[in-house]
Amino acid sequence: MTATRIAVRGDSPYDVVVGAGVLGELPGLFRPGVRTVAVIHPAGLPEISRPVCAALSDAGLDVVALPVPDGEQAKSVEVAAQLWSALGRYGVTRSDAVVGVGGGATTDLAGFVAGTWLRGVQVVFVPTTLLAMVDAAVGGKNGIDTPEGKNLVGTFLPPAGVLCDLATLQSLPRADYVAGLAEIIKGGFIADPAILALVEEDPEAATRPDGRHTRELIERKIRVKADVVGADLREAGLREILNYGHTLAHAIERAEHYHMRHGEAVAIGMVYAAELSRLDGRVGADLVERTRSILTSVGLPTAYRADAWPQLRDHMRLDKKNRGAEQRFVVLDGLAEPARLEGPPEELLEAAYQAVTQ
């Protein structure tokens, strides 16, 4: 299968390579002069790192494999500190590189460590989950979690390249694959309605790595993100639209102690954002119902606990989009027409939440 190269433009441009069996493209993504490559990967999934390490070794590079905890547990300052120490022990210099292999938590961590080691070394991402391919690995935002919230400590460091080998999706558990669809569907609502049409045409096929529209859905969502982050790396304005559904989603994840999949929380958050848009007079009920229908058709949740609002409201007050005491939400003025809602009244926020309760 021929690889597709999607360009992410901006001050530090790079390519996202998409295809099946494309690991051979990996060494070519580094800038010249690399000798040592530190491969950060989940400890519980060594099989996903072996082919990557082999491709790098075959290209004549010195490879250091650095396992980290699986999932969100890896995104801590303690794990980052252990990796900094390892990079020092193995003599990783500014001309060397870090590779993050795995899901979004691993690529977030790898990017943060690369961005802070020696004030920044190049990093390449090899995402192996649907969520990481279409969202976390593209864009240059890297971060770790704190007890106060998700991704509150981080850096902006565009990768030297991203390699999405679609073959890795074949072994992904179905629930994880479906969770990744939430970010693809989000791309449809904020920028590319053709994504929604493809999912609606055959929802069951959309839930499979071998579905007839799988590659097109992935490439369309990557292009949505590439266009946005190429124009606004540091979230000064346009990039905020990518947070559609995420204000409530991050609050739910924190309430669930990060045991809920990110995509599942985003699905609920999108229904909330759609209801907020409706109650603010921006969209009609049809867009809200379409949101629920598409998410439900692929098996994603659309509601959360009614008694959770006080806790979620507290969590939402610590959100990266906020400015001072003013809460800001990404909403829709229409399909593919994202907008910002600033300082909404408390009764509006609570009414929208009541519309998404179980």
Kindly state whether residues 347 and 241 are assigned to the same domain.
yes
Q: Domain residues for 84?
A: 4-171
Please tell me the pTM assigned to this model: 0.92
Q: Is 55 annotated as a binding residue?
A: no
List the catalytic residue out of 250, 261, 278, 292: 250
Residues 222 and 182 in one domain: yes
Q: Are residues 257 and 136 in the same domain?
A: no
pLDDT digits (tens, 9 = 90+) for 140-181: 889 998 888 778 899 888 999 999 999 999 999 999 999 999
Report yes or no: 245 and 262 within 8 Å, Cβ to Cβ. Answer: no
pLDDT at 235: 67
Choice among 119, 257, 259, 323 that is catalytic: 119
Same domain, 194 and 235: yes
So what's the pLDDT on residue 166?
96
Known binding residue 74? Answer is: yes
Determine whether 235 is an active site residue: yes
The reply to whether 174 belongs to the active site is no
The upper half-sphere exposure of residue 107, i.e. CA atoms within 13 Å in the direction of its Cβ, equals 30
Does 189 lie in the same domain as 276? yes
3-state secondary structure of 82: helix
Tens-place pLDDT, residues 101-121 = 999 999 999 999 999 999 999
Catalytic residue chosen out of the listed positions 41, 186, 221, 239:
239
Q: Based on the domain organization, do 246 and 142 belong to the same domain?
A: no
Q: What pLDDT score does 136 carry?
A: 87
Q: Is the pLDDT of residue 287 over 60?
A: yes
Is there a binding annotation on residue 106? yes
Of 243, 254, 264, 278, which residue is the catalytic one?
243
> Which residue shows structure tokens 């346009």?
238
State how beta strands 141-146 and 36-42 pair.
unpaired
Q: Is 155 annotated as a binding-site member?
A: no
- Which among 262, 315, 320, 328 is annotated as catalytic? 262
User: Distance from CA of residue 215 to its chain's centroid?
Assistant: 17
**Secondary structure (DSSP) of 177-213:** HHHHHHHHHHHHHHT-HHHHHHHHH-HHHHTSTT-TT
- The CATH number linked to 134 is 3.40.50.1970
107 is annotated as contributing to ligand binding: yes
93 is in an annotated binding site: no
Q: Which residue among the candidates 25, 50, 208, 235 is catalytic per the annotation?
A: 235
Say which residue, 187 or 234, is predicted with more confidence: 187
Q: Is 225 a catalytic residue?
A: yes
Q: Annotated catalytic residue: which of 183, 253, 264, 275?
A: 183
Is residue 129 annotated as involved in ligand binding? yes
> Which residue in 220, 225, 315, 320 is the catalytic one?
225
Determine the Cα–Cα distance for residues 104 and 142; give it in Å rounded to an integer.
10
* Enclosing H/E stretch for 175: helix 174-190
Residue 262 appears among annotated catalytic residues: yes
Give yes or no: 246 in active site. Answer: yes
343 is annotated as contributing to ligand binding: no
Say whether 41 is catalytic.
no
- Could you report the per-residue pLDDT of 301-345, keeping only the tens digit for each? 999 999 999 999 999 987 655 555 678 899 999 999 999 999 999
150 appears as a binding residue in the annotation:
yes
Tell me if 72 is assigned to a ligand binding site.
yes
Could you tell me the two tokens for 233? 């790396």
Is 221 a catalytic site residue? no
Q: Which is catalytic among the residues 246, 278, 315, 328? A: 246
Structure tokens at 310: 């006080």
Q: Are residues 132 and 191 in the same domain?
A: no
- Average pLDDT of the chain, as a whole number: 93
Question: Looking at 171, 202, 220, which one is the last position of a domain?
Answer: 171
With cut-offs at 50, 70 and 90, classify the pLDDT of residue 48.
Answer: confident
Is 315 labelled a binding residue? no
189 and 69 assigned to the same domain: no
* 108 lies in the same domain as 48: yes
The reply to whether 27 and 113 lie within a common domain is: yes
> Looking at residue 10, what is its pLDDT?
84
CA dist 190 → 14, 238, 336 (Å): 23, 11, 4
Q: Are residues 252 and 311 in the same domain?
A: yes
Number of domain units in the chain: 2
